Amino acid sequence: YFVKQYSDRGLPGLEAHGLSALAESGIVKLPELINFDEHYLVLRFIEQAPRCRDFQTLLGRDLARMHKAATAKEFGFFEDNFIGSIPQKNCCMTDWSGFFIENRIDFQIERAADEQLSEGWQQLRRRVPELLAGTEEAPCLIHGDLWAGNVISGPDGGPVLIDPAVYYGHREMELGMTRLFGGFTEEFYSSYDAEFPLKPDWRERTNLYILYHVLNHFNMFGGGYRPQALSLMRTYL
């Protein structure tokens, strides 16, 4: 078994709910949830084999299949959760740009209480509906914190997702996160697009979605992320 201990009460339940939501799709591979209480989460231990040759292709295919199959009527989730150590607001909304503005960036900016970031965001905020116009899709279940460190190999060498921050969002948000720290190859993106084609210009919105995660890192780790956040904002100003 693999046991995760949390100092904050309730966090194991939030992660358990996220794992359960992803597992219900029956598509992506995950650690098996054994049990949890207020401070502990118990998972089946995963023996990691070397990554198989088509690891990235399988990851892209399975992620696309989950995004296509697991949909909802509203963006959000039935409860707020966490992304890293920072709360993640998941109030349900039918409009993606409104959800992104209010539940994602507004929340992080308010928490940051940083004058430069606040000024930059106020300039960009009014442009978000225009930038996201024409991208309308059904809300789909996303992992929510999909960087390379949250993808491991299973006993067969295939991809396994860990440490989710789930909600029903726009799949471009998920793909944007994969481009923040690297670790995802062109085989991953090609496989995803072959299974569930993206809009040709989706990469033009990547920096907007990365902004959420950089602000989250600012709130977790401090001012070293300010220049990157401001640079991302200037992309669209």
Catalytic positions are 145
> CA dist 51 to 15, 64, 156, Å?
25, 20, 8
Helix (H) or strand (E) holding 36: strand 33-36
The Cβ-side half-sphere exposure at 165, using a 13 Å CA radius, reads 21
CA distance 47 to 234: 44
> CA dist 39 to 10, 13, 14, 86, 155, Å?
7, 9, 11, 17, 28
The residue written with tokens 């299949």 in the block is 65
**Two tokens at 125?**
């905020």
The residue written with tokens 């300010």 in the block is 226
Neighbours of 209 (CB within 10 A): 24
CA distance 150 to 197: 24
First CA to last CA distance, the chain: 49
